């Protein structure tokens, strides 16, 4: 059997209590939560916005210097700083790196990009020497042959 008196008074008291809380919440002059600086300040590249010439950029060059400064949160910056820290190699890793590096230099072919850069540098050097008059055609051919048949130093073989 439902009770009439106490239940009604509990419901009305609860209703009145909620109404009072809402009224206090709406009328209280709470100071707004201050925003963090990264939310309200412009990134360094945009501090002088509006002072430069008003022309359209001709290229699709996106070197405005802003990058992720505008969107990164402090937590993102911390995570990136931790990721950028150099990893410490163990003694075994260092020894292996010392052994593998000379082997790779002597046995593995150069990448096509590196080889073309090297050839470009050599042609520039030859052109400069020709211009100075210090290099004749016979010396050029000798240098080219010497560089083609250059002997490599012996390497450490890992078994």
Which of the four pLDDT bands, split at 50, 70 and 90, describes residue 15? Answer: very high
Residue 82 pLDDT > 70: yes
DSSP notation for 148-159: HTPPPPP-PPP-
Which of the four pLDDT bands, split at 50, 70 and 90, describes residue 17? Answer: very high
Which of the four pLDDT bands, split at 50, 70 and 90, describes residue 2? Answer: low
Distance CA 11, CA 15 (A): 6
DSSP notation for 111-138: PHHHHHHHHHHHHHHHHHHHHHT---HH
């Amino acid at each position: 059997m439902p009770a009439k008196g106490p239940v009604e008074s509990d419901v009305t008291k609860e209703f009145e209590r909620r109404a009072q809380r809402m009224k206090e919440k709406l009328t209280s002059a709470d100071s707004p939560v201050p925003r963090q600086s990264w939310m309200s300040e412009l990134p360094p590249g945009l501090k002088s916005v509006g002072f430069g010439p008003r022309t359209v950029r001709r290229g699709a060059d996106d070197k405005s210097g802003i990058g992720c400064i505008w969107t990164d949160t402090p937590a993102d910056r911390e995570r990136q700083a931790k990721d950028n820290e150099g990893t410490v190699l163990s003694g075994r890793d260092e020894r292996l790196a010392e052994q593998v590096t000379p082997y790779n230099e002597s046995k593995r072919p150069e990448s096509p990009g590196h080889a073309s850069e090297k050839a470009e540098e050599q042609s520039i050097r030859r052109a400069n020497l020709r211009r100075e008059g210090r290099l004749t055609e016979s010396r050029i051919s000798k240098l080219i042959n010497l560089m083609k048949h250059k002997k490599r130093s012996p390497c450490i073989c890992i078994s």
